[in-house]
Amino acid sequence: MDASYNIIMGRPALNKLGVVVSTLHLCMKFPMGRRISSVWADSRLARCCCEDSLRVGYQPFWAKDLTVNSKHERPLLVEDLKEIQIGPSTAHKTKIVMTLGKEEESRFTHFLTENRDVFAWTLDDMPDINPSFMCHRLSIAPGAKLVAQKKWK
């Protein structure tokens, strides 16, 4: 049986090996000693996979079931969440639902701890995002008169 992949590597392994993946170029580059090595995908096989996926068929959005699950219409209340620390710093905290069983909570906490590198804790964790894009500024005319809104009854 022919497989599309020789190996499937997860993000942690790729990060540890210093791999840069380009799906556009069907290429993977990584440091090897003092050189940069490349692994190229088979473009014919990639095209066949793409054609096979298109043959499965496209389902227009109006044909999909868009009903809302009424059980989860509202966001969880803060009281329904439990704060856990997933990193070495006390600032590395996130919240999980309190209704998990002990074993499920332990597995989930372990998973989050192992993958804590995907969390952006500080601006330094997002070097490629321009701060002017992610910082909020109020657009107020310099000569505008301040008005206090009346209290609601």
Domain ranges of the chain: 9-55, 77-117
Residues 90, 95, 96, CA angle at the centre, nearest 5°?
135
Quickly tell me which residue has 């993000």 as its tokens: 11
In contact, 63 and 71? CB cutoff 8 Å: no
Phi, psi of 95 (to 5 degrees): -120, 140
pLDDT bracket for residue 29 (50, 70, 90)? very high
Calpha distance 27→42 (Å, rounded): 9
**What's the token pair of residue 19?**
């791999």
- Per-residue confidence band for 35, with pLDDT thresholds at 50, 70 and 90: very high
List, for residues 90-129, the tens digit of each pLDDT value.
888 888 888 888 999 999 899 999 988 888 888 787 778 7
Radius of gyration of the chain (CA): 24
Query: Tokens representing 73?
Result: 């219409």
State both tokens at 131. Answer: 């701060």
**What are the tens digits of pLDDT across the range 42-101?**
888 888 888 887 777 666 666 666 666 656 566 777 778 889 998 888 888 888 888 888
Q: Over 60: is that where the pLDDT of 8 sits? A: yes
How far apart (Å, rounded) are the C-alpha atoms in residues 18 and 31? 7
Question: How many CB atoms are closer than 10 A to CB 19?
Answer: 16
Q: Say yes or no to pLDDT of 25 above 70.
A: yes
Comparison of pLDDT for 130 and 151, the residue scoring more: 151
Residue 1: pLDDT band (50, 70, 90) is very low
Distance of CA 110 to the CA centre of its chain: 17
Q: Which two tokens stand for residue 92?
A: 């590395």
